[in-house]
Structure 1
Amino acid sequence: MTDLYEAVRGLDPSRAAVLAVALAIAFGFEVVNGFHDTANAVTTVIYTRTLRATPAVLFSGVCNFLGVLLGGTTIAFSIVHLLPVDLLIDAASKSAVLMVLALLTAGITWNLLTWWFGIPVSSSHTLIGAILGVGLANGVMSGEGLGTGVNWEKAGEVAVALLISPVIGFAAAAALLLVAKRWIPDPKLYAPPPEDPDDRPPWWIRASLMTTCGGVSLAHGSNDGQKGMGLIMLVLIGLLPTGFALDLNTKHGADDARAAAERLKTALQTRGSSAYQPEIDELDAILAKLEGKSSLREVAPDDRIQLRSALFHLDRRLAEFKRLEKPNQAESLDAPRRQLRRATEYVPYWVVVGVALCLGVGTTVGYQRIVTTVAEKIGKSHLTYAQGASAEIVAMATIGLANFVSLPVSTTQVLSSGVAGTMWANKSGVQRATARNIILAWLLTFPCSMLASAWIFVFGRLALG
């Protein structure tokens, strides 16, 4: 945390207080995410008596912790790039910090409200709805309209992933259970666990369920933990721009960025078109700022946010070129673009560990409400061994695939849909009242989180003048 200590030295008390509140809210969101979403992963091992509740949630908490540490950061910036372009360019503004506080406050409020009623909803949907809300409110208040307040292309990609994943969960879990019934015809696997609390499933089923529980928890940690990382980085950039606008901890960060900029310049010059001259001029300006420097820490503090803005502007324009050019021509830009983004798209290790701890600790508290709903109230009978394993195998695979392609998905929706799919395939029946409440909450999550974050942002802007 040396970078944080260096950045806060000399900070005035009011700004330091705002920073403390903002970081507390951001890390608090991950705690709420832990006991709200991860409860889905421990449901099967608790209700099939594979593990008792306490060791189950501790096991899941550790796996969530490891998932965050091992998951990378690409999804973090998939979420961050939903925010308005002007916020990403000028994160060191009061509006930028207010946006992050508004969307996190709205997200925590909606998650706590639905958790209180034991309704499994998606923290991903909540967070993304809140991001869209502040983006639209910012566009309206800035006089730029609704079209510029949100990165709609990125929003479309995320929306497709979030909408398709529960359908995949329902269908794939149902199909897997039907296949298991055909090839593993053991009646004990497809009946609710006996009432005797000492009756445990066979060892191989317990091993399978513990594996899938751990896999879902790891996948959830790697996917959901990154969303919190991205938002914490916006808080740090907004309040401590000279310390976090660029990656100051990489020893040869400036050397790497300069090499990537030179490769991009060469690739654009070989096209022989004057249409690329503004980007070549931008690269020359970036190269001038990096000249003679090995680490980005050597960039003057006053120049860091300007360099970050220039790098972001350039990357957005190069992304447009990639869509317009032929695939084989656009490929020459991909590798140097990725390398150049490392200067700004990074997460300090203490942020990763902090998010991992919050998500892991959150998993171990408050899980009972969601666990009871998923195991007892979705179907008309209790969860069977085969249903639990099928739903978790599908959830683990779906979230893992989403991690691979750097898209955010909802653990809650995938696993809850998977449980519903196995209930349908097993002809156990689905409790309509619970299904209605869950679906209604899913439908309301986007508009409610959008409205809440938008109003918090609007009132905050008015209060700040």
Structure 2
Amino acid sequence: MAGTSWVLISSGAVAYAVLQLLPIGLVLNVGSGTGFAMVFALLLASIVWNLGTWYLGLPSSSSHTLIGSIIGVGLMNQMMNPGNANAAVDWSQALSVGKALLFSPLIGFGLAFALLMLLKTFVKAPELYAEPHGDKPPPFWVRSLLILTCTGVSFAHGSNDGQKGMGLIMLILIGTVPSAYALNRAVTQDETQSFVSVAHHASETLQKYAQGAAPVASARSEIERYIQSREATPTTMAALVQLTDSIGAQVANRPTLADVPEHEVNNVRNNMYLSSEALRLMEKDKKPAFRAEDSAVLGNYHGLLDKSTKFIPPWVKVAVAIALGLGTMVGWRRIVRTVGERIGKQHLTYAQGASAEVVAMLTIGAADRFGLPVSTTHVLSSGVAGSMVANGSGLQWSTVRSMLMAWVLTLPVSIALAAGLFWLLRHLF
């Protein structure tokens, strides 16, 4: 239950970091037939692969599956729209996410190995290095340690893996009920007026870097070009000024974001989303090089844009928390047996379990802090393997090979599944 609790207070950063992999054109048109084809392709591909690996008892990664599905949809969308830069996957974001998925299991293995070696060197308590004996409980202090480390892993798991489901649900809600979920209706009247003031200040700040460039015919098209090319010009800054002024004017006429008319909601959201993405990339690339005081102004504006568009309603968090808890209660046995009994040649000892759990908790927590999606399953499994090697227990290579095969196949299979489903559903819708 700890993991479900942490879902309720998660920030949503991981959810939207995953969604940033999607082509910008699909995100902006999530309510269209193409948008629905995208959502259903992502859901079906993820469900098929995750259920298949669960049935076989293989610790597969839902993170890998979802990311592979997003890449598959993006690739097929690009093939169906040749020459359209906005139909392509954001490969720079994909590389950033890929690094997190690749290195986190290696970190889990190495740190769990090192932690167990440290425990064996400095903690001389034989009961800590014993295997469980039937239904006999471990000593109280060992049991307390395991409860603490298990709770930590559960919290970290809920904070990271739970957010991926939130992102998909928000895509569906934005597409089906944009009047209620495209903009954050929880923003108060005072916050709305503050947003208008900050937007005006941001526009003046951006104008300094436009270098007198003339307004463009389509500000949104110029910003979409920049997001794909990452090449900022004075024209880009002028376009961003235009979008900022437009957003400020649209919001200023309403007491709160909840009062934006239904026919304007998608336009306001898309303008905000594009502006937020442009500012995020400019901050990441340090181009243009904003002065410190200007960077602070734009950072404040960027944060308010994200608060208005990249939010998770409380009921969505509750729904995901319940689903995460029920799924764990129903399907835990196959995966737990593989992780606890089939990775090493000997049963997991208390110290090994605690080491793997501490490392998994810290690794996943750090990834969540930076908004990076990682696989709880892979980090914990690699931590168990690292502790087995450190303890001299040896590895069951048949299980390790099966896990590696599932790990290697997840991306290509989910890419192919999602691409095929998107092609089919795109024609149906």
**TM-score normalized by the length of structure 2:** 0.90
Q: How far does the alpha carbon of each residue in 1:390-434 deviate from its partner, in whole angstroms, 9 at most, with x for none?
A: 000000111111111111111001000000000000010000100
Give the 5 Å matches for 1:3-152: 62-144=1-83, 148-152=87-91
Find the partner of 1:249 among 167, 176, 186.
186
| Partner AA of 1:282 in structure 2 | L
- Pair 1:68–1:385, CA change in 2 (3 A): same
Equivalent pairs, count: 401
Q: Aligned pair 1:424/2:389, yes or no? A: yes
Distance in 2 of aligned mates of 1:139 and 1:214:
43
Q: Deviations over 1:270-325 (max 9, x none)?
A: 44623122221222222221223221122111011011111122223333433213
Give the superposition deviation at 1:139.
Answer: 1.1
Aligned residue in 1 for 2:157: 220
Alignment of 1:13-412 (within 5 A): 62-144=1-83, 148-194=87-133, 196-198=134-136, 200-252=137-189, 254-271=192-209, 273-274=211-212, 275=234, 276-322=237-283, 323=285, 324-326=287-289, 328-329=291-292, 330-412=295-377
* Range with greater deviation from structure 2 (139-148 or 409-418): 139-148
The offset of 1:149, in angstroms, is 2.1
Give CA-to-partner distance per residue, 1:318-343, whole Å, 9 cap, x none: 33433213365444422211112211
Unaligned runs of 5+ in 1: 1-61
Q: Decide whether the 8 Å contact of 1:387 with 1:422 is kept in 2.
A: yes
Q: Find the aligned partners of 2:128 and 2:242 in 1 and give their Cα distance.
A: 67
Given the superposition, is the C-alpha separation of residues 320 and 222 from structure 1 closer, same or farther in structure 2, using an over 3 Å criterion?
closer
CA contact (8 A) 2:273 2:305 kept: no
Shift of 1:269: 2.9
User: CA separation in 2, counterparts of 1:327 and 1:266?
Assistant: 13
Summarize the Cα distance change of 1:344–1:380 in structure 2 as closer, same or farther, 3 Å threshold.
same
- Identify unmatched segments of 5+ residues in structure 2: 213-233
Q: Tell me: CA distance 1:272–1:376, structure 2 relative to 1, closer, same or farther (3 Å).
A: closer
Output the CA distance in 1 between the equivalents of 2:87 and 2:130.
Answer: 54
- Whole-angstrom distance in 1 between the partners of 2:42 and 2:275: 27
Residues 69-120 of structure 1 show CA distances to partners (whole Å, capped at 9, x for unaligned) of 1222111111111111011112211111111111111111111100111000
The amino acid of 1:299's aligned partner reads: V
Deviations 1:150-207 (A, max 9, x none): 111211111111111100100000000000000012333223223x422x22211110
TM-score, with normalisation over the residues of structure 1? Answer: 0.83
1:259 partner amino acid: S
Comparing 237-246 with 368-377, which one deviates more in the overlay?
Answer: 237-246
Structure 1 residue 133, shift from structure 2 partner: 0.6
